Amino acid sequence: MECVFCHRGDDQADTKEKAHAGRLARPSDELKTCAICHKKTTANYSKSLHYTALGLREGVKPRFSLEELKTFDEKVFEKSCRTCHASCGSCHVKSPPVGGITTGLLQGHKFVKKNEGRTCASCHGGRVYPEFTGEYGGSPDVHYQKGMMCVDCHTKREMHGDGTLYKSKQEVKDRPRCQSCHTDQKFQLAHEVHKEKVSCQACHASGEYRNCYSCHTATGATSKPGFILGLNPRDRKTLTTLRLVPTIRTTFLDAGIKMENFDALPNYWNSPVHNIRKRTERTRSCDSCHIAKAGFLTRETLLPEGSKANEALIYNFKQMTK
């Protein structure tokens, strides 16, 4: 296969200008290029969340009126959010540009099967990847220490999609779950007592993780470490680790969007943080949660001027019986 098979252009031309006419610098930005050989895979991928970025749209959608949603789709989603979608080459040839910066070709011009440190880490390196490897300052995830990487849990089928157009990852039924591998649990009493009441991360997240406080403001992005426990906003029943997503009322004001339904969604969202350890402060002692209430979301620690929906995530303790 010659260069022009993917990049087009004219390999018979006698000048650089003529040879490069019609050239595609990033051929996989047009999925039909990859579909020449990988028809089924690209057909599935065209509907995957990594490509459509629909999770971003659907995640913020309830904050908008119908008119505001139309404006968001035209002025924000297609021109901003959608620019984050990953093409085939973003994972298999060249790391994706983040903030206009890329680490370049993964292995010369060879197509690689996987290289999580230069592909997954490029887009998910602000939070998940450095927490997973311990580079953020805490303990490395126990799975990482044992030699596991992203695709050991997040399979090829998940990355490429299954041909279904999902609006968010919450709709995907066979997402990675701790219980997929950890079926035979020791310490049955603790797990039985907290079953369907507390997420695995709530007890086994090793410590602080990154929380953003001004990513969606004009002042520039800043973050600081923190550990937050509260009710899962998706069911309001399960205690879990929460991560702050600091959308403020003026986030999209430049596009003419006031977010008339801003208080419909909270600023804190359930996050399966990737810094898991077998032993943590919460597994060593019941008192860390039931007496000290360390890390729990409270009215005093809520985001100032945040959504009113945040208050519903505060966990109300019941008297512990021993």
Whole-angstrom distance, CA of residue 297 vs CA of residue 230: 6
Count of other CB atoms within 10 angstroms of residue 21: 12
**DSSP label of 229:** E
Write the CB contacts of 298 (distance below 8 Å, at least 6 apart in sequence): 314
List average pLDDT for each run of 10 residues in the chain, which is 322 residues long.
92 94 91 94 95 92 96 90 85 84 88 91 89 91 96 92 93 90 78 91 94 70 89 95 89 92 96 94 91 93 93 84 60
245 lies in some domain: yes
The answer to whether residue 291 sits within a structural domain is: yes
Structure confidence at residue 220 (pLDDT): 67
Is 250 domain-assigned? yes
Q: Is residue 88 one of the residues assigned to a domain?
A: no
Domain assignment present for 308: yes
Token pair of 18 as six digits? 């003529």
Quote the CA–CA distance of 155 and 161 in Å, as a whole number: 10
Task: Give me the DSSP letters along 22-57.
Answer: T--SSGGGSHHHHHTT-HHHHHHHTTSHHHH-HHHH
Q: Is residue 299 part of a domain?
A: yes
Instruction: Kindly give, in sequence order, each residue whose CB lies less than 8 Å from that of residue 100, ignoring residues fewer than 6 positions away.
Output: none
Question: How much is the pLDDT for 111?
Answer: 93
In a domain, 12, yes or no: no
CB-CB contact of 73 with 82 (8 Å): no
Number of domains in the chain: 1
- Domain range for 249 is 188-322
Per-residue pLDDT at 219: 66
Nearest alpha carbon to residue 132 among 146, 114, 112: 146
How much is the pLDDT for 215? 65
* Domain contains 182: no
Q: What is the structure's pLDDT at 98? A: 77
